[in-house]
Amino acid sequence: MRFVSSHGLVVSNNISNNTSRGLAVLTGASVHTSANTVSGNIDYGVMVGFGSDVTAGLDTIQNNGVGIHVVQGSVFRGGSLTITGNNSDGVLLESSSTASLLNGSNVITGNGGSGVSVNDLSFAEFSSTDNISGNLTQPDVACNPQYSATRGAGTVGGTTNCVEPQRKR
């Protein structure tokens, strides 16, 4: 399923067994998803790229190459997601992208890479109700070069190498 420079709503679908990506949201597209299963896709379960955004809730992203790939200044917002059993990272952020996992308890576990991999000027924000643990590559939340940043990574139950400044109140 592919959205390019458009808007969309994807509800209660099974997006599976594609030779590349399951759901691709590209080139300034904006998509809301709910209650979908995205599984068995060779490359990415969900790809958000090139200035696009996805808001997802109650989705299951499992058994893909990478669960969710967010790249090139894109935004992913998710709540009450299950991201498990992917061959590589559960969530991969690259090239000035953002993931906000705040709207409900997200479970990111059992992936072959890190649960969440934050790279190259990207940012991730978590809720203390998230469970990001038990991924095969440690740490579960990985802050990788260059200049990655997180907020709340120490509250997700798994391991992290992210260092966060104290929040001023």
What is the distance between the alpha carbons of residues 87 and 79, in angstroms, rounded to a whole number?
22
Among 57, 42, 140, which residue's Cα sits nearest to residue 91?
A: 140
- Assess whether the previous peptide bond of 62 is cis (omega < 30° from 0): no
Tell me the mean pLDDT in the region 83-88: 98
Sign of the dihedral through C-alpha 143, 81, 54, 40: positive
Grade residue 146 by pLDDT with cuts at 50, 70 and 90. Answer: confident
Residue type for position 153: A
pLDDT in tens, 11-35: 999 999 999 999 999 999 999 999 9
Residue 99: closest CA among 64, 66, 63? 66
What is the pTM assigned to this prediction? 0.90
Question: Which pLDDT belongs to residue 39?
Answer: 98
The tokens for 45 are 């379960």
